[in-house]
Structure 1
């Protein structure tokens, strides 16, 4: 059987490599990122027919140079490689025989093939492979597919170049499998992908090139995996990400700079992990973050500047952690235009006058509201265990004040007694001295 469009891409890719210096790395990048002023003028034929007028089919991005590989219906049937201001022509026979060009037209316009055991809705460019007991990603997915659903199968890995040629793909669903490994370049060709769902799998880590082709991604779902650590390179190309769900993994720490590239993030869910502290460096670039879920971790410490950058936060979830005390200044940086709701119940709070003062100050700040204040229960000290903070807080400082008053009175009485005793001793000594003096005179 003759090669398909994806095979042609791979073949042409290999033939273009000699034009690129060996010391330079390159990768396929989306047409969106190709500088408008750099686009070549020979954009006819297949480019028009494929619905991408004035945009080449794919690009090669090097460290310092742009390359655009263009299939053209010019008389020479050439592939043009743009290198800065120079243009190189390569006879199309190097990539495929001229007789294969009609097949190339068909593949770009949209193949009518459908993966075995899947359902294809060609009118809406949807491919449904859900719950088919599949163990590998099918290789004959139509190139024009917009949504691809491989959820609820038996996948254990995503192989390299599994989605090559699927330039139109916007939504990829891979949840509820048993995926343990994402091979290098497994997500290449997904420059336009907007939603990726890898939830309910067995991933323990993400490859270093995970985000390399995901510059357009808006939503990433990784909940209910086995992730123990994330490295910054795996996330550093997700500059357009709006929603990140990492809940119910096994993350214990978050590296400094891990989220630095995610400046547009609006929603971050870290619930159900093993984080023990919220450190100052983690959220430095998340000024646009609106929702932060940190519930059901092991957090016992929130550093003083950890929340300071979050000027747009509307909801902060801290339920079910190990907080005993918290400083009021931790929340001072939360100055969203609307109210910031705090969820603080199910923590082992030590109910004392200091805690009462913190919650009292929070309640008097216009833009802060403890959403579950009536659910907060004291863990200690002993006599207050199980008591509601809302019912006890007004008495906490009264008891403390009474104790301080008793101690003060006791100290004052002790001082008075000591002074009286000293006075008496002084008087007794003076009497003895006078008696002795009189005796000597006689």
Structure 2
């Protein structure tokens, strides 16, 4: 028993010693924040309370080398003037800390920093030295590892033209939800100086145009987000993009997309989003024809969109003899007001890898017969659950049918009257007219016969009938 007790006490002492050692080895921030050890033995620290004094405390400098990811929320930083001490930090997230001003070179020691997030603050002005790094021979005080800067949801109206002179290797920049209203010369210079930029987010910045040659200098932009702005036509400056693969153009107030105001030639574009556009009514012929290599097309959630022309995507070949379609692999047309689509919208529906047609008021008549016979089997292979939800919305007599039911019955839908007449809806009226006619004819014939026979004295216009209007039969008291 004594030996077992000795082993037990030794174990307890060892555990306590190791715990004490680890506690002393951990950064001071871990006493106030959540610390998680990552696979590379570094720490991910998340602070959701006020830790301002702890972060910049001299006593916190010990053991900070183990922190690689730091997230700080709900602090009232306001004016940031202290230098961050975490030299091995790769991700710094300062979202939602009421930051107004960032002093010079406060990030200079963060030479391993790859992602800097300053979202949801109150920043109105940023100076170039805010992102200044340490001296390095052959470079201009760079933050040499920084690749992503997120400045969304602030109060920026313009950018200093030299803002990114210390961060020229940035590949992703977000200015979303800032009241830019226009991309002025200084802002344009600041952005175009990022020659390695690949992902640019200008969504919800209230802009309606792009400056000339704006996309010419940053030759590597692959993703451009222009959603939620005030564009009433597609900016023709997009033709200057050299590497653009994905364009998000959602939520802009365009009414009609035509060949004249449609997309310029962007041979590199693969993915296009035209969703949640509140005023979009139609997509006309040739409006998307210049996107010759488009592979994924998202046209969804447009509450007024009733028509996509069957020649919207196709373009004529050099001789003008044949139409050419891009090799689209994904097309999403859900949640619009479409009642018809033509089979010639795409060349090969059977080559689709993804498709969504739900929540449109499809008309079940002969022009959409191909959707039941040809498209539905393809849709069932791609997404059986969604395909089975395809329903008829018109005519009213067909509204209880799904496309699958019509397909299983080999149902041949009738063609509507050329002028839009709907005789099946006039059945009650026709029956009423027939009943009235059958009832009225005998009455008319009876009245005509009564007139000829002078029944009831109502139709007798003879002299005798006229006299009888004034003379009546003598009272019987004077009769003999």
**TM-score band, normalised by the shorter chain?**
0.5 to 0.7
C-alpha distance in structure 2 between counterparts of 1:367 and 1:398, whole Å: 20
1:124 deviates by 2.9
Pair 248,192 (structure 1): closer, same or farther in 2 beyond 3 Å = same
Instruction: Say whether 1:286 aligns with 2:291.
Output: yes
The equivalent residue for 1:215 is 219
Pair 380,396 (structure 1): closer, same or farther in 2 beyond 3 Å = farther
1:240 deviates by 0.3
C-alpha distance in structure 2 between counterparts of 1:345 and 1:312, whole Å: 22
1:375 partner SS: coil
Instruction: Say whether 1:122 aligns with 2:111.
Output: yes
Pair 366,154 (structure 1): closer, same or farther in 2 beyond 3 Å = closer
The equivalent residue for 2:275 is 271
- For residues 259-318 of structure 1, what are the alpha-carbon distances to aligned partners after superposition, in whole Å with 9 as ceiling and x for unaligned? 444212221111111333333323334343221100122332332333345543221111
Question: What stretches of structure 1 of length at least 5 have no aligned partner?
Answer: 1-113, 402-442
2:192 partner SS: coil
C-alpha distance in structure 2 between counterparts of 1:367 and 1:314, whole Å: 16
1:235 partner SS: helix
Give the one of 220, 233, 242 matched to 2:245.
Answer: 242
Give the one of 193, 196, 220 matched to 2:197.
Answer: 193
Instruction: Say whether 1:346 aligns with 2:346.
Output: no
C-alpha distance in structure 2 between counterparts of 1:229 and 1:374, whole Å: 37
CA contact (8 A) 1:266 1:291 kept: yes
Pair 381,119 (structure 1): closer, same or farther in 2 beyond 3 Å = farther
C-alpha distance in structure 1 between counterparts of 2:381 and 2:254, whole Å: 29
Instruction: Say whether 1:136 aligns with 2:121.
Output: no
RMSD (CA atoms): 3.5
How high is the TM-score relative to the length of structure 2? Answer: 0.52
Pair 202,368 (structure 1): closer, same or farther in 2 beyond 3 Å = farther
- For residues 221-269 of structure 1, what are the alpha-carbon distances to aligned partners after superposition, in whole Å with 9 as ceiling and x for unaligned? 222333332321x212212011111122223344648544421222111
Give the one of 343, 359, 365 matched to 1:328.
Answer: 343
C-alpha distance in structure 1 between counterparts of 2:398 and 2:311, whole Å: 31
Instruction: Say whether 1:299 aligns with 2:331.
Output: no
- For residues 145-201 of structure 1, what are the alpha-carbon distances to aligned partners after superposition, in whole Å with 9 as ceiling and x for unaligned? 432221221223445555456432211121233332211334231222111112333
- For residues 378-426 of structure 1, what are the alpha-carbon distances to aligned partners after superposition, in whole Å with 9 as ceiling and x for unaligned? 221122335433334556845749xxxxxxxxxxxxxxxxxxxxxxxxx
Pair 196,382 (structure 1): closer, same or farther in 2 beyond 3 Å = same
Instruction: Show the 5 A alignment for 1:37-436.
Output: 115-116=102-103, 121-140=110-129, 141-142=131-132, 143=142, 144=144, 145-158=146-159, 160=161, 162-163=163-164, 166-184=167-185, 185-186=188-189, 187-232=191-236, 234-254=237-257, 256=259, 259-273=263-277, 274-297=279-302, 298-308=304-314, 309-334=324-349, 336=351, 339-363=352-376, 372-385=386-399, 387-392=401-406, 397=411, 400=414
CA contact (8 A) 2:365 2:413 kept: no
The equivalent residue for 2:478 is none
1:368 deviates by 8.5
CA contact (8 A) 1:158 1:182 kept: no
C-alpha distance in structure 2 between counterparts of 1:399 and 1:146, whole Å: 58
Pair 153,346 (structure 1): closer, same or farther in 2 beyond 3 Å = same
CA contact (8 A) 2:102 2:126 kept: no
CA contact (8 A) 2:388 2:403 kept: yes
1:327 deviates by 2.2
How high is the TM-score relative to the length of structure 1? Answer: 0.56
Count of equivalent residues: 287
C-alpha distance in structure 2 between counterparts of 1:155 and 1:227, whole Å: 20
2:239 partner SS: coil
1:379 partner SS: coil
Pair 353,179 (structure 1): closer, same or farther in 2 beyond 3 Å = same
C-alpha distance in structure 2 between counterparts of 1:289 and 1:333, whole Å: 14
CA contact (8 A) 1:294 1:317 kept: yes
Greater mean alpha carbon deviation, residues 385-394 or residues 365-374: 365-374
1:215 deviates by 1.8
Structure showing greater relative contact order (alpha-carbon pairs closer than 8 Å, 6 or more residues apart)? 1
> Relative to total residues, which structure has the larger strand share, 1 or 2?
1
The equivalent residue for 1:427 is none
1:134 deviates by 0.3
- For residues 343-386 of structure 1, what are the alpha-carbon distances to aligned partners after superposition, in whole Å with 9 as ceiling and x for unaligned? 21211211124423333122456998576322222221122335
Greater mean alpha carbon deviation, residues 201-210 or residues 319-328: 201-210
Pair 249,398 (structure 1): closer, same or farther in 2 beyond 3 Å = closer
The equivalent residue for 1:42 is none
1:136 deviates by 2.3
Q: For the pair shown, which has the larger CA radius of gyration, 1 or 2? A: 2
